[in-house]
A = this chain, B = another copy of it.
């Protein structure tokens, strides 16, 4: 409904390269640089729980969610505006921590806080971040850039944040070695925004399409396929899963692949590399410190979204999307 409302409301404008519908809007603001702009709203009880997360972690994750949107376009983040609605239950210390977390996450990118608004809230903490970025004209990575035959890649490992979230809401953390539990919790509380990876893909013109994984691989792959009018086949055994996430799955009797497919808020990048650029991509990737995994292929739209197993059989990808706070079943 919101998407429809936005579509109705969007006035055509010659400066708007891309409005609603991708990770950020793209605006032709000058001949040498295009502007990216994105906004994210986090609400207590929906996106975070003050009982299980510190305000510093909440601020950190909120900033990463926005930085990750800029990363998915291959952009460089620039300016931030922060609005917070503060409930009577929130202390000054907590607000300090919230800002500290946001600043910690964005400091490595020299993002500049230039504005914001503060309000009282009758119930619950609300945090809205608006972030701008820049990208070279015509170079932004779009969801709509995938073509049949492209290879699908992801950065990092998948499912850690979801496993971390589940550890937070469960009381059985002790069944995991402490180091692994700490790793998963850290990946939930302090995810990374893949800014450097996104910029690298843009600089070398290696990627076709890109998105950041906030809804989970299945959900976000669906966005790429819808916007690009294609299908996709995921190689189940190629999904990058950390040892800690595997240990967690084993301890809880879950399938690691399912956590990797459905776990949200990893903030890794999912991107496509056209077949003709794959060799160069693989060669150049070896010269970096980045971690990329090839996890599948873009297929014709009619094939839909499918998962290929070890034994070579394929099945439709389950139509699930990440819900915050939901426990793995």
How many A residues touch B, CB cutoff 8 Å?
Answer: 62
Contacts of A95 in B (CB 8 A): 1-2, 5
Are A24 and B115 within 8 A (Cβ)? yes
Q: Pick from B9, B25, B40: contact of A79, CB below 8 A.
A: B25
Is A302 in the interface zone, CB < 8 Å from B? no
Are A41 and B110 within 8 A (Cβ)? no
Is A78 in the interface zone, CB < 8 Å from B? yes
Is A237 in the interface zone, CB < 8 Å from B? no
Are A110 and B11 within 8 A (Cβ)? yes
Q: Which of A15-23, A148-156, A244-252 lies at the binding interface?
A: A15-23
Q: Would you give the shortest CB distance from A105 to chain B, in whole angstroms?
A: 12
Are A116 and B43 within 8 A (Cβ)? no
Q: Would you give the shortest CB distance from A67 to chain B, in whole angstroms?
A: 15
Contacts of A126 in B (CB 8 A): 41, 43, 85, 121, 126
CB closest chain-B residue, reference A27: B79
Contacts of A112 in B (CB 8 A): 10-11, 13, 15-16, 19
Please judge, given known A-B contacts A15-B78, A29-B35, A99-B5, whether A43 and B113 are in contact too, CB under 8 Å.
Answer: no
Q: Which residues of A contact B (CB under 8 A)?
A: 1-2, 5-6, 9-11, 13, 15-16, 19-20, 24-25, 27, 29-30, 33, 35, 37-47, 78-79, 81, 83-85, 92, 95-96, 99, 102-103, 107, 110-124, 126, 128, 130, 132
